[in-house]
Every structure is written in C-alpha cells, then in structure tokens.
Amino acid sequence: MNTAGEVSIRPRQAGGCTIAGLTGRLDGRSYGELRDGLIRLTLDQPRALIAEVDGLEITSEPALTVFSAVRTRTNSWPGVPVLLVARDRERRAMITASAVHRFVPLHSCVEAAVGAVAEPPSRRRRSTGFPPVAASSHAARRFTRETCRGWNIGHRQEDALGVATELVENAVTHAGSPLELRLELRDGRLTIAVRDEDPRPAVLRQQPGGALSGYGLQVIAALSDTWGCAPAPGGKIVWAVLRVGPRHLAPFRVR
C-alpha cells in the first residue's frame, strides 16, 4: 500500500492493467502526492491505469483534475492510458459533469474499464546501468549508437546521442547515484530515459532577465519533441521523446 497524504493507493493487477483502489480525502493537501503516486504506477507500463474513486472523499470539482493531470503527464511517455471507475451513480454524475470526463474515460466497473482498453502498440526496449562517473556518458553514447543502428533509426542517431549524453551527464552531476539508461521504440517514437536515485525533479528554470539555466536541459528540450520528469520509487526518471517515423523502422524479429 502506498500512502499519498490523506489518500491511500492500493494497487492490484487485472487483465494486464494496474487497478488503483483509492480511499481517503482528495484535497489540496493530498493532490500532489496522489498525482505522483499514480504516475509511479505507470512506469512499469501496464496496459492501462484504472483508478477506482468510490472510496474517495472529493472536496471539490477542481480536485478531480488530478486525474487529467496524470493523463497529461503520462501521455507522451510512458504512454499508459488512464481510466476511472465509479459504481455510485451520484459519483458518476459528478465526474461526467466535470471537464475531467473529456480527457479521462469513466466506467461503472473494473471489468468494463479493462474491456475498453485497446491493445498497446508493440514496444522494443533496451536498458543498461551505469555508475555515477564521467566515463558513463561515453558508454551511454556507445549503447545508444548500437541501439539506433540495430533498430534502423540512424537518421535520428545524432539527436539520440545528444539527448542520451545530456541525460546521463545531468544524472552524474546532480544525482551522483547509480543510474539506468532505458531506450524504447514505440509507435514511431524513440524514448530515451534515465533513472537516478535523486527525487528532486529536473526543472528548466528561467532566471531574472529571461536567461534559462540548466544547459543540459536546454539541449534536451531543443533536440527532442517533448521531454519530462516523472517521480519513481527511490528517485526520478527524466525522459525525452524523438519522432522517428514508421517508414524507417526495421522489422521485428521473433526471438
């Protein structure tokens, strides 16, 4: 059981989906921890994240935006759909009348929600670990280059190398912990992600006068289509997505 402020999250599995049973009071105090707790449940990339909300005391309609916030944060990566389940008629009516219903589907039972989840696109994944030393950026470049060649996406190789280098160097510099580099190819998009043991989020900050700080993140933002930072158990994951286009992908091989 994960405790998010005054909201408890009890995850279980059904049909390849993660079902999050929620109980407690959803308000301004618990909003952020609930959001982060639900995001963590998507990192293992289940078919979908389904939140059961009948046990929640929802203090206001704006508090429901926590679910659309999770959907927005996970849409590009890890690409896990988010659904809601409410059996109570009054609860369903409240959600249906809210803006959240336009972004997060609502179902009356878990079985219906699981049945509504489409099969996810095929994914290719490769990952490797590195120590927090300067030489890890060179090893990360080698790993990324080999992966791009093996996946036949050499036309984005230089951008991928730049992103991987900056992500790893940022983790070495600011986290100083062992790290994991993960590459994923899904639906014509290459995701490059680095996980470290520092829970502080990666933020591209604007200093007085308009100057941006965090040079590595500027490079990542410039080279990628989108990037973000997600809380992970014991740390965080910083990720970036590059579009590679379906015409360039090598065929999948059955192993």
**What are the boundaries of each domain within the chain?**
2-116, 123-248
Contact 132, 171 (CB under 8 A): yes
Helix (H) or strand (E) holding 72: helix 65-75
pLDDT score of 121: 87
3-state SS class at 113: helix
pLDDT score of 249: 45
Give the CATH number of domain 123-248.
3.30.565.10
pLDDT score of 215: 65
pLDDT score of 124: 95
Give the CATH number of domain 2-116.
3.30.750.24
3-state SS class at 250: coil
- Tell me whether domains 2-116 and 123-248 share a fold: no
- Profile the chain (255 residues) by mean pLDDT over runs of 10 residues: 72 97 95 96 96 94 95 94 96 94 96 94 95 96 97 95 95 95 95 97 63 67 93 96 70 40
The Cα-based distances of 73 to 27, 63, 69, 177, 228 in angstroms read: 20, 16, 6, 25, 8
Q: Is 249 exposed, middle or buried, given 0-12, 13-18 or 19+ CB atoms closer than 10 A?
A: middle
